[in-house]
Chains A and B, each alone.
Chain A
Amino acid sequence: MQIKKFLFLLIFLFSINISAQELSGLIATESRLFPESPLNDKQVGTYNLSFSFKPELYYELDNGDHSFLFVPFLRWDLNDEERTHFDIRELFWLYYSNDYEIRVGIRKVFWGVTESSHLVDVINQTDFVEDIDGEQKLGQPMINFAYIQDWGTLDLFVLPYFRERTFAGEEGRFRFPLLIDTDNELYESEDDKNHLDFAARYTNTFGDFDVGISHFVGTSREPRFIPAFSQGVTRLVPFYDLINQTGIDIQYTTGGWLWKFEGITRHSRAQRFFAFTGGFEYTFPDINGSGIDVGVITEYLFDDRDQQNLPSNPFDNHIFIGSRLAFNDVQSTDLLVGSVINHETGSMFLNLEGSRRIGESFKLNLRIRGFANIDEEELFYGFRKDSYSQVELEWYF
């Protein structure tokens, strides 16, 4: 069904006048190798193959005062039918004037400064089947008004529609022992996914400090799960609470140092809690005249929420240690290695991300994720056999 929808959109895309437009995008193939057998024999075995397609259509009027952007996204997965999915990542109109900007449509917005978690970033829903790192997002319908003054930028958001989080299906890796019932979500709000959410964000730069203060009122993007028994199986039903969340993010930049802090306080019916991530990144540039930059990153992640009655946060008392290498070569080779560690249980989540351009329009991405010594208490205990390496080849057009 989703593929049909997508093909229809493609035909529409090519049938309208393209003369004053710009079409670009990328096609990618992704191979994943899982060295360990899955916990459940219905899950993907050793090898998985997947393709994705993300075209981008841009149209401009009035010297760019008005512009229009359309970015559909399609993923096809060999094994997991939940991972085969279509989404409109972006579809919006932008009007830009001297002291304000208006954006209406489907968008992706990013808030925050830290590397290992994105507490403050609440506008978009996570596309969890895309990647378990939480950085892939579903398009969010919105009206966004940005007011830009000498005293800073004030962004106001009206968010009329809720996007449910995506989860792996029965055949997919990265799932819990019990399946998640993504067809019967529950909401605290009577309006379900039509509840009107609001958000506001103020950002400004004060010398070496970049500061953002934000508030969100509406349906939580993070679900908690309620076990439900039907047709002889127990499934986990996602429940989305109504929340109020205030966040602050600060970055202090001096010399090679980036000092970062993100903190939130969230209120829902069950509890008010506090969470923060803070740390630093230091870069040694151009090591011995080689052109290579080496960065070291350390962050501490804290969350005092009641993990039983609220959506769980896997990182509540963890340390992130990482290093970033930028080769600054013609192929823009870079490498990021990092590990999130629970220093009490010794559970480790390892991550390696590398990329390198090939020729003028191809890019090779390498990713290795490892779950080591995972304690039963950890939220991703169900992923303990899902360590994998991934090679992705992207073609940009």
Chain B
Amino acid sequence: MKHVKFLFSLILLIPVLIISNEIYDQTANEARGLEIAKEVDVRDTGFNNSVVELEMILRNKQGQESRREMRNKTLEVDGDGDKSLVIFDKPRDVKGTAFLSFTHKEGPDDQWLYLPALKRVKRIASNNKSGPFMGSEFAYEDISSQEVEKYTYKFIKEEQLNGIDCYIVERYPVDKKSGYTRQVVWYDQVKYIPHKIIFYDRKNDLLKTLTYHDYEQYLDKYWRASKFEMVNHQTNKSTDLLFKDYKFQIGLTDRDFDKNSLKRAR
């Protein structure tokens, strides 16, 4: 009888063990996902400031193109998200328009817009995460500074992508106003940089795929892709972002990222 009881208890314990094992796996995968995201962040820390020229090519379903040109200045902030200033050059009717944002690890970002025709600096609402940036397939949340704290993570598996060993990590936006339920990211196992992101919308349907191309290394440390390609699977529209003339550590300070700098931006 005792043996039977023992056996019976063992049988009862099996599902408990399986569940706890799963819980263990889950927390272990969450921890590993977070660890990878942190490593990605650490390896990209310390560039201090940078400036880059951007060209955006928007394509509609029929393949018709529309172009945008802008410049982006970035300043790292100790213990918080980056500051960034985007100055628009083309199309010509928005020339001189400038967008200043202070990203924060937690809580909403601070954003100001400069309208050159009215000479007006406007503080704008930062609750727009999911809306399109300049009519493109990039949402505001796609182009803003990617802070570790903006997502929770789960490691999925290791997989090769175009012959490169990658970690696949799922991440889940913390902000409820995000347009996504989840993103699946392919991180390079050696360089800790993203190669691909698949976005799922609020209904968890496949929405967009972002791929990174032609990475180049700067200051012997920081990897920057020369091209981002975003394809929207629901609308068949796409946007390419081309980066050129990256410059790092050019002496930008907080003064280059204040409301006065918006009025000076050209």
Chain A residues with CB below 8 A from B108, complex form: 255
> Which B residues from 120 to 147 make CB contacts under 8 A with A?
120-132, 134-135
A58-82 interface code vs B (CB 8 A; 1 in, 0 out): 1010001001000000000000000
Known: A289-B202, A330-B58, A363-B93. A283 touches B264 (CB 8 A): no
Give Cα A293–Cα B124 distance, bound, in whole angstroms.
13
B118 within 8 A of A: yes
B93, A357: Cβ atoms under 8 Å? Answer: yes
Number of interface residues of A (CB under 8 A): 47
A253, B123: Cβ atoms under 8 Å? Answer: yes
B91, A361: Cβ atoms under 8 Å? Answer: yes
| 9-residue interface stretch from B45-53, B191-199, B252-260 | B252-260
B128, A285: Cβ atoms under 8 Å? Answer: yes
Number of interface residues of B (CB under 8 A): 40
Instruction: Report A293 CB to chain B, min CB distance, Å.
Output: 6
A283, B125: Cβ atoms under 8 Å? Answer: yes
B90, A360: Cβ atoms under 8 Å? Answer: yes
B2 within 8 A of A: no
B135, A94: Cβ atoms under 8 Å? Answer: no
A98, B123: Cβ atoms under 8 Å? Answer: no
Give Cα A153–Cα B261 distance, bound, in whole angstroms.
12
Select which of A135, A289, A360 is within 8 A of B66 by beta carbon. A360
B135, A332: Cβ atoms under 8 Å? Answer: yes
A360, B266: Cβ atoms under 8 Å? Answer: no
A258 within 8 A of B: yes
B95, A256: Cβ atoms under 8 Å? Answer: no
Give Cα A396–Cα B95 distance, bound, in whole angstroms.
10
B16 within 8 A of A: no
Instruction: Report B194 CB to chain A, min CB distance, Å.
Output: 24
B258, A148: Cβ atoms under 8 Å? Answer: yes
Select which of A108, A251, A361, A363 is within 8 A of B123 by beta carbon. A251
A368 within 8 A of B: no
B5 within 8 A of A: no
With both beta carbons as reference points, the residue of chain B lying nearest to A96 in the complex is identified as B264
Instruction: Report A288 CB to chain B, min CB distance, Å.
Output: 10
B92 within 8 A of A: yes
Chain A residues with CB below 8 A from B202, complex form: 289
Known: A330-B135, A360-B92, A361-B92. A289 touches B119 (CB 8 A): no
Chain B residues with CB below 8 A from A130, complex form: none
Give Cα A68–Cα B77 distance, bound, in whole angstroms.
32
> Which A residues from 268 to 311 make CB contacts under 8 A with B?
281, 283, 285-286, 289, 291, 293
With both beta carbons as reference points, the residue of chain B lying nearest to A326 in the complex is identified as B131
A396, B66: Cβ atoms under 8 Å? Answer: no
Chain B residues with CB below 8 A from A47, complex form: none
Chain B residues with CB below 8 A from A146, complex form: 260
Chain B residues with CB below 8 A from A101, complex form: 260, 264
B67 within 8 A of A: yes
A331 within 8 A of B: yes
A255, B260: Cβ atoms under 8 Å? Answer: no
Chain B residues with CB below 8 A from A329, complex form: 132, 135
A205 within 8 A of B: yes
Give Cα A357–Cα B154 distance, bound, in whole angstroms.
43
Chain A residues with CB below 8 A from B159, complex form: none
Give Cα A377–Cα B67 distance, bound, in whole angstroms.
51
Give Cα A113–Cα B260 distance, bound, in whole angstroms.
16
Chain A residues with CB below 8 A from B60, complex form: 330
Chain A residues with CB below 8 A from B90, complex form: 360
Known: A146-B260, A256-B127, A285-B130. A98 touches B255 (CB 8 A): yes
Instruction: Report A121 CB to chain B, min CB distance, Å.
Output: 9
B118, A135: Cβ atoms under 8 Å? Answer: yes
Instruction: Report B69 CB to chain A, min CB distance, Å.
Output: 11
Instruction: Report B17 CB to chain A, min CB distance, Å.
Output: 43
Instruction: Report B156 CB to chain A, min CB distance, Å.
Output: 26
Given contacts A96-B264, A397-B92, 12 further A-B contacts (CB under 8 A): A101-B260, A109-B119, A253-B124, A256-B127, A285-B129, A286-B131, A293-B131, A330-B58, A330-B135, A332-B134, A360-B92, A396-B91
Residues of A within 8 A of B (CB): 24, 26, 58, 60, 64, 67, 94, 96, 98-99, 101, 108-110, 113, 135, 146, 148, 153, 203, 205, 210, 251, 253, 255-258, 281, 283, 285-286, 289, 291, 293, 328-332, 357, 360-361, 363, 394, 396-397
What are 12 A-B interface contacts by the 8 Å CB criterion?
Answer: A24-B92, A99-B255, A110-B119, A113-B122, A257-B125, A285-B131, A286-B128, A328-B131, A330-B58, A360-B67, A361-B92, A361-B93
Residues of B within 8 A of A (CB): 58, 60, 66-67, 90-95, 108, 110, 118-132, 134-135, 177, 179, 201-202, 253, 255, 258-260, 264, 266
Closest 7 CB pairs of A and B: A396-B92, A285-B128, A286-B131, A330-B135, A256-B127, A110-B119, A110-B120
